[in-house]
Amino acid sequence: MKPKTKIQKEVARLSANLRPISATQIDWAYRHCVEHIGYRTKKGNITCSDCGHEWHSDSGLCDTLEGCTCPKCHAELKVQDTRRRIYKETQNFSVITTCKGYQVIRVAQVRCESRKGEPMRFYCHEVVQRWISPDGKVTDMALLRGFLFCYCDVWALGSDMEVRPHNSLYDDVVARSCAYPKMRILPQLRRNGFKGDFHGISPVRLFKALLSDPRIETLMKGGEIEVMKHFLFNTRTADECWASYLIAKRHKYQIDNLSMWCDYLRMLKKLGQDLRNPKNICPEDFMAAHDNATRKIEAIHEKERAAEQRR
Ligand SMILES: [Zn+2]
Ligand SMILES: [Zn+2]
């Protein structure tokens, strides 16, 4: 796709000048993202998947439990009793970096092919880049997908890294990738509370929210991670309950079960009650108040059904 908007043009230009993923980063992916196997025969001979070296080991059970180290190339191997001679694995790994004011997440596909007795072949191809602007807008660069096959990792590796319309697949590859531990982070993200921990959230999703949603920023800074996650994954609930949440906090109200409390607020709203009044939203006995509201809602439904039948 030809870049059209100003931001797309800028991203395309910056991306073309980005240095390739470094040898150190690729080496890390080789060590950490794919399995390294010691193929073991019945007789106790182990063959290293990395360099192809074969040796005899007598520490059978110990090797199985703790893995072993290849005496030749010193790779840490996971020992498998197998007659299999070929092992293939494909994974994604990501490098989190910055470029000219953008937070960039680069995803590379790594693929290993090992044949027993031969050195492992390892390939690394960058397939997706997500460029997040300081106001949280995401521009996607990617290779072309082979759309002939449905859900397999088939990228057209010869295609160009181009600006492309958003595809949920780009979210998936980021979410399923292991991240290179050395990260470069925009100062805006650090200022908004990011300290290096993703709390199980995909980096693109978290960064985008931290840069564009002041609620997420507030919760992150306050260390209220569980609440942050709940509101991040339930944006509608956040829209409905945020103002009340702040009021409840100000009144030092202890919310034990956030999703139940938001559910309670929705009922209060249906009952026409003021969601900014702490008397309503901070009940002393929460469970009793919740039950009470549930009964009132149920009574309304009952009335409606009766009216329906009389007609
Ligand atoms: Zn022996
Ligand atoms: Zn080896």
Other Cβ atoms less than 10 A from the Cβ of 66: the count is 12
**Amino acid identity at 310:** R
Q: Which long-range contacts (CB under 8 A, 24 or more apart) does 19-28 make?
A: 20/126, 21/95, 21/106, 21/108, 21/124, 21/126, 25/95, 25/180, 26/108, 26/110, 26/124, 28/180, 28/181
The ipTM is 0.60
Ligand 2 centroid – CA 270 distance (Å): 67
Assess whether 231 and 281 both reside in one domain.
yes
- 257 lies in a domain? yes
Ligand nearest to the CA of 48: 2
Other Cβ atoms less than 10 A from the Cβ of 118: the count is 14
Assess whether 290 and 159 both reside in one domain.
no
Assess whether 153 and 286 both reside in one domain.
no
- 124 lies in a domain? yes
Backbone angles phi, psi at 163, to 5 degrees: -65, 130
Write the pLDDT tens digit of every residue in 100-113.
999 999 999 999 99
Assess whether 149 and 199 both reside in one domain.
no
Ligand 2 centroid – CA 299 distance (Å): 73
Residue 24 pLDDT level (bands cut at 50, 70, 90): very high
Ligand 2 centroid – CA 154 distance (Å): 30
Ligand 1 centroid – CA 241 distance (Å): 68
Assess whether 108 and 248 both reside in one domain.
no
Ligand 1 centroid – CA 90 distance (Å): 35
Ligand nearest to the CA of 58: 1
Please state, in angstroms and rounded to a whole number, the distance separating the CA atoms of residues 32 and 52: 19
Assess whether 193 and 128 both reside in one domain.
no
Residue 19 lies in domain: 6-33+88-179
Assess whether 158 and 294 both reside in one domain.
no
Assess whether 14 and 159 both reside in one domain.
yes
- 27 lies in a domain? yes
Q: Count how many domains the chain has.
A: 2
Write the pLDDT tens digit of every residue in 247-270.
999 999 999 999 999 999 999 999
Q: Considering 179, 205, 239, which residue would you say is the last residue of a domain?
A: 179
- 58 lies in a domain? no
Return the structure tokens found at 135. Answer: 């106001």
pLDDT, the chain, mean: 92
Assess whether 171 and 281 both reside in one domain.
no
Assess whether 158 and 273 both reside in one domain.
no
- 256 lies in a domain? yes
Q: Is the pLDDT of residue 150 over 60?
A: no
Ligand nearest to the CA of 77: 2
- 63 lies in a domain? no
Write the pLDDT tens digit of every residue in 257-304.
999 999 999 999 999 999 999 999 999 999 999 999 999 999 999 999
pLDDT of residue 210: 97
Write the pLDDT tens digit of every residue in 54-94.
999 888 777 888 889 999 999 999 999 888 888 899 999 99
Q: Considering 179, 206, 235, which residue would you say is the last residue of a domain?
A: 179
- 11 lies in a domain? yes
Assess whether 140 and 199 both reside in one domain.
no
Rounded mean pLDDT, 11-19: 96
Ligand nearest to the CA of 46: 2
Q: Considering 129, 155, 179, which residue would you say is the last residue of a domain?
A: 179
- 50 lies in a domain? no
Assess whether 149 and 170 both reside in one domain.
yes
Count Cβ atoms within 10 A of the Cβ of residue 122 and give its class: 0-12 exposed, 13-18 middle, 19 or more buried.
middle
